[in-house]
Structure 1
Amino acid sequence: MNENNMLKKMAQLDQSLFLMVFNGNAPNWLRNSALGFSKTGDGGLYVLIAVGFGWLSNEPELRLLAMTLLLGFLIERPIYYVAKNSFARIRPCDCLIKGAYIVPSDKFSLPSGHSAGAFLVAVVLAQYFPELISLWFLWATCVATSRVLLGVHFPIDVVLGALMGSSCGLLAILLVATL
């Protein structure tokens, strides 16, 4: 099987998985839960965490947490923008289904910025609060899944976003540890 056929098969599988997860008639509780989790990944929460832990705290460890988050996003955001515009993958709500539950902020879907941000934050929080690691990754997974449930991302978009965000979080942790 050549590379082009393999990519087509992967895209077909991704579309099939999307159609299995997305439900245009989702019950209100599921739609509202997805909307809530998606909103927590919009970025405002990350600013509150960084300001709350970093600049309002006298604890050196919490200041390092804030610095690690900031550095993680300084690494992740440029990669995200370049990847998003390079792949230029059309969102499922614009090519596969009629509408989504939300209006996306841009026209391309790969990678998912919400997933990248949530997993970056989860990785960093897990470093500083390891006793809550399950909570951090459950939350990040819910943010990522919400993007598919809302109809604005394919499953591979959120998986690649999660991998990208996790990698950037780990790199930030390693770089801050060298300071």
Structure 2
Amino acid sequence: MKTQIIKLDTALYFALYKPECKPWFKMVMLALSKSGNGGLYVVLGILSALFMDSVGQQFALCAVVAFAIERPLYLYLKNRIARVRPCDCLAVKAMLTPSDKFSMPSGHSAGAWLYATCLMEHFPALALPLMLWASGVSLSRIVVGVHYPIDVILGAMIGSGCALLAIGVVGEL
């Protein structure tokens, strides 16, 4: 069963990985990937807390609590699972240089889905664009060659789950 899942994951990776894509598509995928690097989260969180009264402050607190739960879990799993990135074991060249050597779970996917989930809780009218953005960040990590599909699925589950837990915790304060 495990071998079949790995084969399916690898086949899906090669179906989505696009090293010879159109320049505009490469630019969009790299921009989506970069939007999940984390700097955007800090800036938007601070701006929300400073300029959006209590809703912005609740959102910022929720995001901080969620990341405080997610980051240690992510780092533990990343180093415990220690799955080698596809660009390092399948003789393919990634479109960017990853920040570490392991691929599972995807930190970009976890962060994007965490942030999107926290934002959707406080700004529900933005749900569709936030889900599209988080999906785009996740997909971009496969397309640029640094993650397998299961990596981004697990990352999305971890990010969303930690956000939901934080929403519950912050709601009790």
Q: Provide TM-score, normalisation by structure 1.
A: 0.95
For residue 124 of structure 2, the aligned residue among 113, 118, 130 is: 130
For residue 72 of structure 2, the aligned residue among 74, 78, 83 is: 78
What is the CA deviation profile of residues 83-113 of structure 1, one whole-angstrom value per residue up to 9, with x for unaligned ones? 0001000000001132100000000000000
Question: Partner amino acid for 2:10?
Answer: Q
Question: Partner amino acid for 1:87?
Answer: I
User: What is the match of residue 172 of structure 1?
Assistant: 166
| Aligned sequence identity (%) | 45
RMSD: 0.8
The answer as to whether partners of 2:92 and 2:145 remain within 8 angstroms in 1 is no
The answer as to whether partners of 2:48 and 2:56 remain within 8 angstroms in 1 is yes
Q: Secondary structure at the match of 2:84?
A: coil
Question: Partner amino acid for 2:99?
Answer: S
Q: Secondary structure at the match of 2:37?
A: coil
What is the CA deviation profile of residues 38-83 of structure 1, one whole-angstrom value per residue up to 9, with x for unaligned ones? 11100000001111011x2361121011000000100000000000
User: What is the match of residue 25 of structure 1?
Assistant: 20
Is 1:11–2:6 an aligned residue pair? yes
Moved over 2 A (4+): none
Is 1:40–2:35 an aligned residue pair? yes
Partners of 1:135 and 1:23 in 2: how far apart?
Answer: 24
Question: Partner amino acid for 1:72?
Answer: A
Pick which of 86-95 and 21-30 moved more.
21-30
Question: Partner amino acid for 1:9?
Answer: Q
The answer as to whether partners of 2:48 and 2:59 remain within 8 angstroms in 1 is yes
Partners of 2:65 and 2:91 in 1: how far apart?
Answer: 37
Q: Secondary structure at the match of 1:109?
A: coil
Question: Partner amino acid for 2:145?
Answer: G
- Count of residues paired in the alignment: 173
Segments of structure 2 that go 5 or more residues without pairing to the other structure are none
Partners of 1:38 and 1:122 in 2: how far apart?
Answer: 15
